[in-house]
Amino acid sequence: MRIGCIILARYNSSRLPGKALIMFDDKPLLRHVYDALDSVFTSDNIVVATSNESSDDTIADYCQREQINYYRGSLQNVADRFISAAQENSFDYAMRINGDNLFVELTTVRKMILDAQKSQDFYSNVPGRTFPFGMSVEMVKTSFYEQVLKAINESANYQEHVTLYLYDHSKMGNRKYYVNDEYPEASGVHLSIDTPQDSKIAQRMLKRLSKPIYENELSTIVKTYHLCQHHE
């Protein structure tokens, strides 16, 4: 069984242009995400999936320079880009991580890899939002996702939001959800890098957190967020 991780990333962002390669400390956002996952996966099982539009040449060029596996597909149909990247790399299971998730939730990542041996169709820590925004981890069985792709492709909204169809059809497939019951205060905290303000807060956080970022506990990250949220 081959379990791979797909990092979805694009360069153009209406609220924070070029965010994938914005520097945080000494390296780009995308590299922080990659390095966190590289501590769990082997490098040949991590793929950056970006679009085949010229706007994403910058990301492809960066991946080439850094010898990071990458795949280029549809800009608008992110679902197709995701599953095509999984198919090209012969992943039996494909984990989805967004490229703006600076604080990757590796505890859940490790649990999903272990639980894949039980052969469920869909794994997620999103329902209930007990984890912060920006710490979403999802994983699908490739053959299962291939079966629902036709239905996903009937809606532009489902194409853009890779797993939304699965949440809207919650009885499809065998699934397992993960809940954060160790630090409830983390629920609802916004850690994804969506806006310039998010970037500023994250920059402040990195000055206080130990390195590498992914070795910090969830409680430490959330407490640091609150500390930095209103302080210049």
Residue 195: its pLDDT value, please? Answer: 95
Q: How far apart are CA 42 and CA 76, in angstroms?
A: 29
**Sign of the alpha-carbon dihedral angle for 65, 66, 70, 73:** negative
Put simply, whether the predicted model's pTM sits higher than 0.85 gets the answer yes
Residue 13: its pLDDT value, please? Answer: 83
pLDDT tens digits, one per residue of 136-169: 999 999 999 999 999 999 999 999 999 999 999 9
pLDDT tens digits, one per residue of 28-55: 999 999 999 999 999 999 999 999 999 9
Residue 15's pLDDT band (cuts 50, 70, 90): confident
Q: 230 or 130: which carries more pLDDT confidence?
A: 130
pLDDT tens digits, one per residue of 167-217: 999 999 999 999 999 999 999 999 999 999 999 999 999 999 999 999 999
Question: What letter would DSSP give residue 39?
Answer: T
Residue 7's pLDDT band (cuts 50, 70, 90): very high
Residue 56: its pLDDT value, please? Answer: 97
Residue 232: its pLDDT value, please? Answer: 58
Strands (E), the chain: 3-8, 23-24, 27-28, 46-51, 70-73, 93-98, 122-124, 138-141, 175-177
- Nearest partner of 99 among 49, 152, 161, judged by Cα: 49
Residue 14 CB-density burial (10 A; 0-12 exposed, 13-18 middle, 19+ buried): exposed
Q: How far apart are CA 97 and CA 155, in angstroms?
A: 22
Tell me the domains of the chain and their CATH numbers: 3-193 (3.90.550.10)
Q: How far apart are CA 212 and CA 183, in angstroms?
A: 21
Tokens for 176? 């397992």
Residue 184: its pLDDT value, please? Answer: 96
Summary mean pLDDT of the chain: 96
